[in-house]
């Protein structure tokens, strides 16, 4: 993470004084930025976001991970895991793309036992594998993630004030906000300091690792691909990422900083196969999101007629796995959660969408909307695109880094 950004984020966290807002701090900042003590200690191990989608010609899977630090570490493996299968939720084959850096201009990447490349990954065309099955790029790029941090913080402060004033929670833990509170929450979400929503992370330039790999290499188990990324040290996995927000938004939401950090450290060290133990904690976070619109039980996959302990179980189970699903049989990539929703009754039309996540998605608004009331457009933070122009078709996809003056703004002041 850049030296200019660290003080801004820490001042922001200091301003989030209520219990609920402290719990939501990770989701305010970005998909997975400013994470646990382990990754704060070395931002080169901190995965900010993961992107995965099919190429326009239907021949390749495009992958990108942003790293909060501005450089890559020579002590870490940077890994894309791609599981494949014929049905959503069930995979039968897996392959890993592992990259290791000797320096900013020297990388070694291997795609299973199929192909490998060694050299400088910084050119516009990237570094091609010896067998021509993939190419990789690594370097500073503009971050495609966009988020109205101040508006989100103000929205959460409004909800926190209502909870502190005694807002009722139902048996499943969902806060029952009155219409005025819900209206105030959504109103704050759309603005920044009383004006139009602005992107707090505009101009931020993390390190980015981008890979474009032949689909037949990664889809051996079937056309549905489940993607997750990890950073691995000599002795353990340090961070992992799949969908946006899950790790930071839904773990330790109402716990102390110590409890939250312990949960997230354990979550980052887990794999999709070992993450079921986090389901109860994710259910607690889901209950809070479900109440923002004043109507409990209308969240995606919620079961309002089930026993309170089961209302959020299905979605919590899906999110604990935390793999980003891509339908590689489709080249039409427009919507986060398309693959997951296509498997649900009433959403079959989404089977024609590749899902995943391109650099162009307004992922944070869609994610929050699904958690609030099961729609994809109910939460709007007033920021619907990034400040730079990214691409889903032209490698390396993420816009070049644009130098900006050191930003000394205090996010706690106008």
pLDDT in tens, 30-62: 344 445 777 778 899 999 999 999 999 999 999
First and final C-alpha spacing in the chain:
24
Q: How far apart are CA 14 and CA 270, in angstroms?
A: 29
The predicted pLDDT at position 245 comes to 85
The confidence band for 13, taking pLDDT boundaries of 50, 70 and 90, is: very low
In sequence order, which residues have a C-beta less than 8 Å from that of residue 277 and are 6 or more positions away? 270
Q: How far apart are CA 374 and CA 353, in angstroms?
A: 18
The pLDDT of residue 207 is above 70: yes
The confidence band for 254, taking pLDDT boundaries of 50, 70 and 90, is: low
The pLDDT of residue 26 is above 80: no
For the segment 290-319, the average pLDDT, to the nearest whole number, is 96
The pLDDT of residue 99 is above 90: yes
The pLDDT of residue 400 is above 80: yes
Q: Between 208 and 20, whose confidence is greater? A: 208
The pLDDT of residue 409 is above 60: no
Reading the block at residue 242, the tokens are 């799949």
Reading the block at residue 302, the tokens are 């919620």
The confidence band for 250, taking pLDDT boundaries of 50, 70 and 90, is: confident
For the segment 96-109, the average pLDDT, to the nearest whole number, is 94
The confidence band for 282, taking pLDDT boundaries of 50, 70 and 90, is: very high
In terms of Cα–Cα distance, which of 328, 152, 123 is closest to 249?
Answer: 152
Residues 193/307, Cβ–Cβ less than 8 Å = no
The confidence band for 27, taking pLDDT boundaries of 50, 70 and 90, is: very low
In terms of Cα–Cα distance, which of 108, 106, 116, 173 is closest to 307?
Answer: 173
SS3 state at 182? helix
The residues with which 49 forms a beta bridge, in sequence order, are 66
Helices within 231-297 (DSSP H only): 246-249, 257-269, 279-290
**Residue ranges with strand state E in 112-206:** 115-119, 127-128, 134-140, 191-192, 195-196
For the segment 143-170, the average pLDDT, to the nearest whole number, is 91
For the segment 369-392, the average pLDDT, to the nearest whole number, is 94
Q: How far apart are CA 174 and CA 170, in angstroms?
A: 5
Q: How far apart are CA 148 and CA 28, in angstroms?
A: 8
Q: How far apart are CA 270 and CA 321, in angstroms?
A: 10
In terms of Cα–Cα distance, which of 162, 359, 346, 157 is closest to 244?
Answer: 359
Q: Is the pTM of this model over 0.75?
A: yes
The predicted pLDDT at position 251 comes to 83
Q: Between 366 and 251, whose confidence is greater? A: 366
For the segment 12-20, the average pLDDT, to the nearest whole number, is 37
The pLDDT of residue 113 is above 90: yes
Q: How far apart are CA 171 and CA 83, in angstroms?
A: 37
The predicted pLDDT at position 247 comes to 82
Burial 28-61 (b: 16+ CB within 10 A, else e): bbbbbbbbbebbbebbbbbbbbbbbbbbeeeebb
Q: For the chain, what percent of residues have pLDDT higher than 90?
A: 76
The pLDDT of residue 65 is above 80: yes
The pLDDT of residue 101 is above 60: yes
Reading the block at residue 341, the tokens are 């929703």
Q: How far apart are CA 323 and CA 70, in angstroms?
A: 25
In sequence order, which residues have a C-beta less than 8 Å from that of residue 169 and are 6 or more positions away? 175, 176, 287, 291
The confidence band for 404, taking pLDDT boundaries of 50, 70 and 90, is: low
pLDDT 10s digits, 333-374? 999 999 999 999 999 999 999 999 999 999 999 999 999 999
The pLDDT of residue 3 is above 60: no
Cis peptide before 396 (omega within 30 of 0): yes
SS3 state at 228? strand
In terms of Cα–Cα distance, which of 25, 50, 35 is closest to 363?
Answer: 50
Residue bearing tokens 């992958």:
63
| 268-to-72, 79, 83, 240 alpha-carbon distances in Å | 19, 14, 18, 5
For the segment 134-157, the average pLDDT, to the nearest whole number, is 93
The predicted pLDDT at position 35 comes to 56
The predicted pLDDT at position 249 comes to 78
Reading the block at residue 282, the tokens are 């994710």
For the segment 284-303, the average pLDDT, to the nearest whole number, is 95
The helix-helix angle for 313-321 and 279-290 (nearest 10°) equals: 120
């Amino acid at each position: 993470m850049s030296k200019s950004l660290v003080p801004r984020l820490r001042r922001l966290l200091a301003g989030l004084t209520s219990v609920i807002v402290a719990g939501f701090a990770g989701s305010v900042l970005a998909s997975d930025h400013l994470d646990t003590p382990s990754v704060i200690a070395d931002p080169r191990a901190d995965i900010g976001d993961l992107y995965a989608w099919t190429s326009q010609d239907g021949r390749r899977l495009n992958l990108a991970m942003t790293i909060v630090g501005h450089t890559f570490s020579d002590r870490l493996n940077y890994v894309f895991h791609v599981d494949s299968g014929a049905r959503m939720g069930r995979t039968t084959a897996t392959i890993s793309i592992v990259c290791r850096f000797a320096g900013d201009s020297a990388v070694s990447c291997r795609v299973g036992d199929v192909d490998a490349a060694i050299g400088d990954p910084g050119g516009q065309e990237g570094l091609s594998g010896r067998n021509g099955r993939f190419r990789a790029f690594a370097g500073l790029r503009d971050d495609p993630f966009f988020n109205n941090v101040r508006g989100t913080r103000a929205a959460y402060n409004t909800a926190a004030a209502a909870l502190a004033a005694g807002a009722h929670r139902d048996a499943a833990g969902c806060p029952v906000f009155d219409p005025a509170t819900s209206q105030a929450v959504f109103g704050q979400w759309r603005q920044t300091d009383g004006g139009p929503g602005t992107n707090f992370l505009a101009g931020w330039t993390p390190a980015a690792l981008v890979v474009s790999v032949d689909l037949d290499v990664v889809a051996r188990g079937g056309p549905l691909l489940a993607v997750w990324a990890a950073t691995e040290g000599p002795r353990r996995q340090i961070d992992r990422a799949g969908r946006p927000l899950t790790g930071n938004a839904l773990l330790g939401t109402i716990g102390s900083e110590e409890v939250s950090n312990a949960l997230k450290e354990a979550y980052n060290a887990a794999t999709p196969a070992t993450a079921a133990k986090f389901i109860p904690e994710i259910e607690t976070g889901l209950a809070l999101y479900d109440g923002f619109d004043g109507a409990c039980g209308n969240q995606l996959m919620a079961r309002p007629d089930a026993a309170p302990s089961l209302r959020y179980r299905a979605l919590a189970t899906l999110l604990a796995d935390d793999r980003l699903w891509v339908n590689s049989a489709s080249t039409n990539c427009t919507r986060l959660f398309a693959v997951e929703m296509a498997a649900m009754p009433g959403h079959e039309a989404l089977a024609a969408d590749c899902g995943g996540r391109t650099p162009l998605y307004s992922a944070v608004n869609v994610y929050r909307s699904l958690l609030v009331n099961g729609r994809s457009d109910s939460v709007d933070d007033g920021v619907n695109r990034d400040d730079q122009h990214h691409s889903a078709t032209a490698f390396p996809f993420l816009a070049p880094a644009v130098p900006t003056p050191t930003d000394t703004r205090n996010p706690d002041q106008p």
